[in-house]
Amino acid sequence: MDQSLGQLILFAVAATSATFAALWLGIVLWTYRDMRARSRDTMAQGAAALMVAVLNVFGLLIYLMLRPRETLAEAYERSLEEEALLQGIEEKPSCPSCGRPSNAQWQVCPHCHTRLKKACVACGEMLDLPWTLCPYCATPQPGELESAGRGRRAAQPIARRDQDAGAPLEFVETDDF
């Protein structure tokens, strides 16, 4: 009886020791794998695993307090989201009338035929409609009278330089923005 009780105690101690050894090895491996997911630095990965191996549960608690907040995958996803948001913020040219994408060099929208830009009278570069001076060649642009149409097509009188003051005005269709 005494011998079987000794064997039972020995078996219980061996099973408990094996369980604690497996638990210890498990937290060391978990720490190493978790640190690999959070950092590319092999020294930091090894140091974290070594700290948990030496200090056991206390090392694991220290690691949990000091580890990087996000994994490399989370940091990558966050950077992709930020990049997507920045691309959405960037101003992309679009037609003010129909809202379809347009090119910055287009003079009219090919879909709704709204006037987008005007050509400089001297150098031919595309200018925004309200500009009265060409930023490329510094040539003053002919002035257009404001209309009450606000974005609708309206006939507007534009005086030509080669006409005298008493001549009738020429009417040209334009868009106001």
pLDDT tens by residue, 103-131 = 878 888 888 888 888 888 988 888 888 88
What is the reported pLDDT for 168? Answer: 54
Q: What is the mean pLDDT of the chain?
A: 82
Cα distance between residue 27 and residue 47, in whole Å: 14
**51 compared with 166, residue with greater pLDDT:** 51
Q: Which of 65-69, 82-86, 113-117, 128-132 has the highest mean predicted lDDT (pLDDT)?
A: 65-69
| Greater pLDDT, 23 or 2 | 23
Q: Rounded to two decimals, what is the model's pTM?
A: 0.49
Percent helix, strand, coil in the chain (nearest 5)? 45, 15, 40
Q: Say whether 128 sits in a helix, a strand or coil.
A: strand
Highest mean pLDDT among 11-15, 150-154, 168-172, 173-177: 11-15
The partner residues of 172 in beta bridges, in order of sequence, read 156
pLDDT category at 76 given cuts 50, 70, 90 is: very high
What is the token pair recorded at 44?
């930091």
